[in-house]
Amino acid sequence: YQAFELIHARWAMLGAAGFIIPEALNKYGANCGPEAVWFKTGALLLDGNTLNYFGKNIPINLVLAVVAEVVLLGGAEYYRITNGLDFEDKLHPGGPFDPLGLAKDPEQGALLKVKEIKNGRLAMFGMLGFFIQAYVTGEGPVENLAKHL
């Protein structure tokens, strides 16, 4: 149970940043494509268009993108599940995943684990809010915030 919550929390933290950052960059100057809103980016592949990465067209179709994602993420997940790096704690590996040495002290490490799971839970609820907001308004979070302010 704890492992699944932590993995989903980490994905939610990455996803929340991935929802906001491209839309904000596109709104305030960077060219991330015609619509850099998270729920419309997949339509670029489904329309037969190529991917657009910061204004550069990448000639890749949907099948190739899905195959690449399955191979890369599937390989990484298999490596993690089989403990390929031989860590004692698969959920909080430390070592090369803690290059700044923030969790060398056991007390500090325990505090950081609590902060990680709390921020992850917040991110999961934030993602739920983004989903509902997109369904109701049809706009991204940055556009809604700009209209509100």
Q: Any binding-site annotation on 92? A: no
Q: Are 53 and 45 in contact (CB under 8 A)?
A: no
Q: Any binding-site annotation on 69? A: no
DSSP string of 36-49, one letter each residue: --TTTTHHHHHTTP
Q: Any binding-site annotation on 8? A: yes
Q: How far apart are CA 149 and CA 144, in angstroms?
A: 9
Structural element, H or E, at residue 52: strand 51-53
Q: How confident is the model at residue 103 (pLDDT cuts 50, 70, 90)?
A: confident
Instruction: Tell me which DSSP letter residue 68 carries.
Output: H
**pTM as predicted:** 0.75
What digits encode the pLDDT tens for the residues 19-78? 998 888 888 877 766 677 888 877 766 666 666 666 677 777 778 878 999 999 998 888
Q: Any binding-site annotation on 108? A: no
Read off the pLDDT of each residue in 111-130 and give the average, rounded to a whole number. 94
Q: Provide φ and ψ at 71, rounded to 5°.
A: -65, -50
Q: Are 39 and 33 in contact (CB under 8 A)?
A: no
Smallest CA-to-CA distance from 126 within 15, 7, 4, 1 is with 15
Domains of the chain: 1-144 (1.10.3460.10)
Q: Any binding-site annotation on 116? A: yes
Write the Ramachandran bin of 136: left for phi over 0, alpha for psi from -120 to 50, otherwise beta: alpha
